[in-house]
């Protein structure tokens, strides 16, 4: 513990360097901005900014990119409360009571409690990161290829289990993601695979053009001519500081939301959206007046907002200590780490302590910046929404194209982005979810290597996955998650989608 | 046949193609998996899952296509085509010129903004981005035959 505190102090030393502070500020500001704007999310933004970070040192780059992750959680609540439009998928629940509070003239306290709740939860999850990530990384040093394979299988199973529509479809997307991720040279024999003689495919398909297409351009295409101008909350927002009664009612929900978000975020495959729904449901269950939920209860804002922020911290733990992303957003961060030449995994903390502790300390500083950015500056963020969507959509497309191109200075990446934008659009039309695809796309090559190494290790026996206790536990959990819905009608994801 | 079941047939076909490609790459053995090993299994699982979706869609008459509102497919096709042309001309004509043409088209034609304003915004955006990426961030953007 003491060692962690010393390391954290070292982290603050790094995070407080002027350059890192600047990039932290840029990150959280961008995060808030895209959080506020519907139509572009943190996942696409991180991908967009990826090329811009190549000339930076990796620490500043990761500080900025993670700032986008948690900054978006703050920004998303603003539009949920004021406009009933979730700027982010992970702020959907906040609309339910937040917008009702705004309609009752209590927009101020709603915004205030969501910012403070986010701050408290963010701080809590950083403390959790400091405690858990190094411990988990030490533990993960015992992992061999079978454990890694089983862990990734578990992550993909959880993603499929949490699918909002069809679990089979989510699994299909995961499999397609693995296939796409493995295109390129064989990591062991260097045989070109599914490259169709195209030289640019030999290195595989890049994560950036795929994400730009699926999350950036596809979103714009879907909204072409559909998205009308948002009705902007006209009333003056006053009293951003919640009063004593508000605090009394919110403190429990914030604490529960933080705990729930953090621990669910730890599980590979969960991400930030599901915990939010669960925290709302939990508060409703615990409330003495569950019937009032949906009509402007502050508990219904405090808990989910705390929850989605804590979950972001939670998702960083498997990313930084195991090298396993748990959602599309952290999948791109993993891609970024690899591009900077770092090897994500249990040794990251030992080999690059400056990166690990610097990023954690910067998250603490970033949360303070966000509190300042989000409370007094709310009118400014609201006015951002007055930018006509026509301009916004054209610029999103342009940034996606630049982002896709500049990674390798190759126009084939633009073609790939365009192809995936069409794929993304069709996926939306036919209710396939993009998240399992992106996650599996990143995990694919790691999964393949782990599987092949395990089989070589065991002399071809699949029982190696069951003979080793840790991997057996992961496999068992995956089987339960995949098989359980066959026997019970109840599935979390579907339940959530009915709550929408 | 519903759209959903024809969609499932597409995935089955893709799964078969992946499996076929995988066998040509060589599956290796279980003791030493070859280049096509993971593709083969992924393809096989894809086929099985698609069959499940197919059976499911044949059993229920419900159409499972997302109610996304009316998508404007003509506009979508035009935008996609313009992006393909953008990729084609980018290295030939340079970033600034192609970007001005693309943005003017997107704003003026697709989003129905006033033409003159579209052109001004497009020029400003193209030059602004060139300054940010090329001059500040030192990311090389294509110059084309005109040198910008």
Q: Give a three-class secondary structure readout of A356-408.
A: HHHHHHHHHHHHHHHHHHHCCCHHHHHHHCCCCHHHHHHHHHHHHHHHHHHHH
| Confidence (pLDDT) at B65 | 56
Q: What would the pLDDT profile of A391-403 be if each residue is shown by its tens digit?
A: 888 888 898 898 8
User: A413 vs A211, A213, A350, CA distance in Å?
Assistant: 11, 10, 35
| Confidence (pLDDT) at B31 | 83
The complex's ipTM works out to 0.90
Chain B nearest C-alpha distance from A388 (Å): 10
User: A351 vs A13, A335, A344, A345, CA distance in Å?
Assistant: 18, 18, 10, 10
Using CA atoms, how far apart are residues A7 and A130, in angstroms rounded to an integer? 9
Of B68, B125, B138, the CB nearest to A222: B68
Using CA atoms, how far apart are residues A278 and A107, in angstroms rounded to an integer? 24
Q: What would the pLDDT profile of A18-39 be if each residue is shown by its tens digit?
A: 999 999 999 999 888 888 887 6
CB contact under 8 A, A431 and B86: no
| Confidence (pLDDT) at A84 | 80
Burial readout A151-185 (b: 16 or more C-beta within 10 A, e: otherwise): bbbbbbbbbbbbbbbbbbbbbbbbbbbbbbbbbbb
Q: Is any Cβ of chain A less than 8 angstroms from the Cβ of B128?
A: no
The CB density around residue B2, as the number of other CB atoms within 10 Å, is 15
Of B25, B53, B80, the CB nearest to A166: B53
Position A498 pLDDT exceeds 90: no
Higher pLDDT, B33 or B63: B33
End-to-end CA distance of chain B: 53
In chain B, the residue whose alpha carbon lies closest to the alpha carbon of A405 is B141
Cβ distance B11 to A432 under 8 Å?
A: no
- Greatest CA separation found in chain B? 67
Query: Would you place residue A303 in the very low, low, confident or very high pLDDT band (cuts 50, 70, 90)?
Result: very high
In chain B, the residue whose alpha carbon lies closest to the alpha carbon of A460 is B31
Using CA atoms, how far apart are residues A357 and A126, in angstroms rounded to an integer? 11
Q: What would the pLDDT profile of A89-148 be if each residue is shown by its tens digit?
A: 777 888 888 888 888 888 888 988 999 999 999 999 989 988 888 888 888 888 889 999
Cβ distance A235 to A105 under 8 Å?
A: yes
Q: Is any Cβ of chain A less than 8 angstroms from the Cβ of B42?
A: yes
Which residues of chain B make contact with A221, given a CB cutoff of 8 A?
76, 79-80
CB contact under 8 A, B69 and A415: no
Mean pLDDT, residues A282-310:
88
Listed as own residue / partner, the contacts of B6-9 with beta carbons closer than 8 Å and 24 or more positions apart are B7/A430, B7/B53, B8/B50, B8/B51, B8/B53, B8/B54, B8/B57, B9/B50, B9/B54
| Confidence (pLDDT) at A496 | 53
From the list A75, A14, A17, A4, the residue with the least C-alpha distance to A312 is: A75
| Confidence (pLDDT) at A473 | 93
Q: Give a three-class secondary structure readout of A135-187.
A: HHHHHHCCCCHHHHHHHHHHHHHHHHHCCCCCHHHHHHHHHHHHHHHHCEECC
Output DSSP code: residue B32.
Answer: S
Lowest pLDDT segment from A263-277, A463-477, B17-31? A263-277
Of B18, B65, B90, the CB nearest to A179: B18
Residue written as token pair 């900025």? A64
Test mutation, B63, B66, B85, B120, chain A, max A CBs within 10 A: B66
From the list A157, A160, A162, A146, the residue with the least C-alpha distance to A450 is: A146
Query: Would you place residue A363 in the very low, low, confident or very high pLDDT band (cuts 50, 70, 90)?
Result: very high
Using CA atoms, how far apart are residues A112 and B59, in angstroms rounded to an integer? 50
Which residues of chain A make contact with B64, given a CB cutoff of 8 A?
165-166, 430-431
| Confidence (pLDDT) at A175 | 94
Structure tokens at B67: 């109610």
From the list A205, A162, A449, A217, the residue with the least C-alpha distance to A335 is: A205
Q: Is any Cβ of chain A less than 8 angstroms from the Cβ of B10?
A: no
Chain A nearest C-alpha distance from B123 (Å): 12
CB contact under 8 A, B39 and A222: no
Position A499 pLDDT exceeds 60: no
Could you write out the DSSP letters of every residue in B35-94?
A: TTHHHHHHHHHHHHHHHHHHHHHHH-------------HHHHHHHHHHHHHHHHHHHHH-
| Confidence (pLDDT) at A296 | 86
Cβ distance A166 to A431 under 8 Å?
A: yes
Query: Would you place residue A471 in the very low, low, confident or very high pLDDT band (cuts 50, 70, 90)?
Result: very high
Using CA atoms, how far apart are residues A148 and A260, in angstroms rounded to an integer? 25
Q: What would the pLDDT profile of A203-215 be if each residue is shown by its tens digit?
A: 889 888 888 888 8
Q: What would the pLDDT profile of B66-112 be if each residue is shown by its tens digit?
A: 555 566 788 889 999 999 999 999 989 999 999 999 999 988 887 77
CB contact under 8 A, A429 and B65: yes
| Confidence (pLDDT) at B63 | 53
Mean pLDDT, residues A49-62:
83
Query: Would you place residue A500 in the very low, low, confident or very high pLDDT band (cuts 50, 70, 90)?
Result: very low
Between strands A192-193 and A184-185, the pairing is antiparallel
Q: How many CB pairs under 8 A join A and B?
A: 172
Share of chain A above pLDDT 90, in %: 26
What does the mean pLDDT of chain A come to? 85
């Amino acid at each position: 513990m003491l060692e962690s505190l010393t390391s954290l102090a070292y982290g603050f030393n790094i995070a407080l360097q002027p350059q890192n502070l600047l990039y932290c500020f840029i990150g959280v500001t961008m995060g808030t901005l895209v959080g506020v704007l519907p139509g572009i999310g943190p996942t696409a933004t991180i991908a967009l900014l990826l090329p811009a970070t190549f000339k930076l040192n990796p620490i500043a780059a990761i500080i900025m990119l993670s700032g986008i992750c948690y900054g978006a959680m703050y920004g998303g609540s603003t539009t949920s409360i004021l406009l009933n439009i979730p700027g982010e998928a992970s702020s959907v629940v906040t609309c339910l009571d937040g917008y009702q509070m705004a309609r009752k003239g209590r927009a101020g306290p709603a915004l205030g409690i969501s910012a403070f709740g986010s701050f408290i939860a963010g701080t809590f999850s950083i403390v959790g990161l400091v405690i858990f990530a190094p411990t988990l990384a030490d533990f993960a040093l015992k992992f061999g290829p079978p454990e890694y394979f089983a862990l990734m299988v578990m992550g993909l199973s959880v993603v499929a289990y949490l699918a909002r529509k069809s679990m089979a479809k989510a699994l299909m997307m995961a499999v397609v993601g693995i296939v796409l991720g493995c295109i390129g040279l064989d990591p062991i024999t260097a045989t070109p695979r599914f490259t169709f003689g195209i030289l640019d495919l030999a290195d595989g398909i890049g994560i950036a053009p795929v994400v730009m297409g699926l999350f950036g351009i596809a979103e714009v295409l879907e909204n072409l001519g559909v998205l009308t101008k948002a009705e902007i909350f006209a009333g003056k927002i006053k009293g951003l500081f919640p009063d004593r009664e508000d605090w009394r009612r919110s403190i429990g929900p914030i604490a529960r939301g933080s705990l729930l978000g953090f621990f669910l975020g730890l599980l590979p495959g969960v991400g930030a959206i599901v915990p939010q729904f669960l925290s709302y449901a939990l508060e409703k269950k615990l409330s003495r007046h569950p019937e009032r939920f949906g009509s402007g209860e502050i508990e219904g804002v405090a808990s989910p907002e705390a929850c989605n922020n804590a979950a972001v911290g939670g998702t960083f733990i498997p990313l930084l200590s195991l090298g396993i992303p748990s959602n599309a957003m952290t999948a791109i961060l993993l891609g970024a780490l690899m591009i900077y030449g770092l090897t994500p995994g249990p040794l990251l903390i030992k080999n690059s302590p400056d990166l690990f502790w610097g990023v954690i300390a910067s998250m603490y500083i970033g949360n303070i910046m966000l509190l300042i950015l989000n409370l007094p500056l709310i009118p400014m963020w609201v006015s951002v929404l007055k930018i006509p969507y026509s301009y916004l959509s054209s610029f999103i497309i342009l940034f996606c194209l630049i982002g896709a191109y500049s990674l390798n200075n190759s126009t084939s990446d633009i073609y790939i982005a365009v192809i995936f934008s069409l794929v993304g659009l069709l996926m939306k039309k036919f209710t396939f979810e993009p998240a399992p695809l992106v996650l599996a796309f990143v995990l694919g090559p790691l999964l393949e290597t782990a599987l092949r190494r395990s089989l070589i290790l065991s002399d071809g026996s699949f029982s190696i996955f069951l003979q080793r206790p840790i991997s057996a536990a992961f496999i068992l959990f995956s089987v339960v998650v995949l098989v359980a819905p066959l026997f019970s009608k109840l599935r979390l994801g579907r339940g959530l989608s009915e709550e929408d | 046949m519903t759209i959903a079941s024809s969609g499932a047939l597409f995935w089955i076909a893709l799964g078969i193609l992946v499996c076929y490609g995988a066998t040509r790459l060589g599956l290796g053995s279980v003791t030493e998996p070859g280049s096509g090993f993971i593709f083969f299994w992924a393809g096989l699982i894809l086929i099985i899952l698609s069959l499940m979706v197919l059976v499911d869609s044949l059993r229920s008459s419900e159409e499972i296509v997302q109610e996304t509102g009316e998508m404007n497919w003509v506009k979508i096709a035009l935008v996609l085509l313009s992006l393909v042309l953008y990729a084609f001309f980018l290295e030939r004509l340079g970033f600034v010129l192609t970007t001005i043409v693309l943005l003017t088209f997107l704003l003026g034609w697709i989003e129905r903004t006033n033409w003159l304003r579209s052109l001004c915004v497009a020029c400003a955006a193209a030059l602004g981005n060139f300054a940010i990426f090329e001059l500040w961030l030192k990311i090389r953007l294509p110059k084309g035959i005109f040198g910008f």
